[in-house]
Amino acid sequence: MSEKIYILDTSALFTFIEDEEGADIVENLLIEAEKGNITVYVSFISLTEVFYITKKEHGEQNALERVKLIQSLAINIQESDESLNILAGGFKANYRMSLADAFIAALCQYHQGILVHKDPELEQLAKSMQEMRLPYKK
């Protein structure tokens, strides 16, 4: 049996960082990754999103602290390359989604992973990739 691979969307990172409903699900994935039972990836673009959203809402120092926290977790931060650029471009061309979501979807497809999110924009991909939906904010 091959190891399970999970891709955390930016919304999953915020769920964990801000202790929203579903944070325990993300935390359990991170614990399993720490134990080496699964592999967790985050796209480079999610770090950018966490930084700029946090900076706008809570200031640059908090934004930097959150990025350092993510970097300290048992996750692989995936930078882009030619194949991810092409995959992301395909998602952006074929679906109504942000460029960030296109890169996250591309990362998921590339690793044949399970997309962990609570982003309605990503629901349209449910037929083409596995997903684990976190509880949406009420």
- Say what the pTM is: 0.94
Domain-by-domain residue ranges, the chain? 4-133
H-type helices in the chain, by residue range? Answer: 10-17, 23-35, 44-58, 60-72, 82-94, 99-111
Q: What type of residue sits at position 26?
A: V
pLDDT at 2: 59
- Per the CATH hierarchy, to which homologous superfamily does domain 4-133 belong? 5'-nuclease (3.40.50.1010)
pLDDT at 1: 46
Burial group, residue 129, by CB count within 10 angstroms (0-12, 13-18, 19+): middle
Q: Which residues of the chain have pLDDT under 50?
A: 1
Asked if 135 contacts 26 with a C-beta cutoff of 8 angstroms, the reply is: no
